Amino acid sequence: MIEVEQKFRLDAEQEQKLVEGAVLDHEKINIDIYYDSEDLTLGKRDVWLRQRNGQWELKIGRRGYREGLATTYEELEDDTSIAEWFGFPGDNLTDEIRAAGYRPFVRIEKARRSYLRDGFRLDLDHCDFDYAVAEIELLIESADQQQEANDRIARFAASIGLDASPVRGKVVEYLHRYKPDHYRALQEAGVLDEV
């Protein structure tokens, strides 16, 4: 599946607009540890390797498919597909990732409340470094549905009166605040959205 998502500023007013009439699907604490090589080979390609609650996940930016404020990522969530993407044998993904030189660069703990509303998933995340962000998401099966998904998200956000000014993602906000060199390297590589 391909995830199309747009991030929104999350404060009490925006939260009220988002959750009105929404159904709470689940609440969860997610602990994400992001990995990259010393020279940021993944981040510079808009690829994000993380362990979420101990489980490996890979988010791969689909350059050229970014339209407007929505971004599109392919998500791999099983060890076999992730090993394949890296070209690893796949016997022990954790060992192989380490042997290839990838190291943790940030750990973010966040409380997520995930709602369903009108066919959208609404994720409301409060991070442990005093940052909150909402995401409106749609899952699509093929890239040719991208534009339609973007438009649906934009129409929905407008219909509930959300402020749709661009916001930084959680990792990016963390880097901006606490690891400016890392942030600058990604900015220079052209992978960060304009905020």
Residues that bind ligand V4E (CB under 6 A): 32, 48, 59, 71, 73, 135, 168-172, 191-193, 195
Cβ closest to ligand V4E, residue 157 vs residue 171: 171
Cβ of residue 112: shortest distance to ligand V4E, in angstroms?
A: 7
Torsion angle (degrees, nearest 10) of CA 144, 62, 150, 156: 130
- Give the 3-state secondary structure of residue 195: coil
Cα 183 to Cα 105: distance, rounded to the nearest angstrom: 12
Pairing of strands 103-117, 71-76: unpaired
Q: Which residue is closest to ligand V4E by CB?
A: 169
Cβ closest to ligand V4E, residue 91 vs residue 194: 194
Element (H, E) at 55: strand 55-61
Cβ of residue 114: shortest distance to ligand V4E, in angstroms?
A: 9
Cβ closest to ligand V4E, residue 73 vs residue 115: 73
Bridge partners of 138, per DSSP, are: 4
Cβ closest to ligand V4E, residue 35 vs residue 169: 169
Cβ of residue 48: shortest distance to ligand V4E, in angstroms?
A: 4
Cβ of residue 71: shortest distance to ligand V4E, in angstroms?
A: 6
Please spell the DSSP secondary structure of 172-193, one letter per residue: HHHHHHH-HHHHHHHHHHT-SP
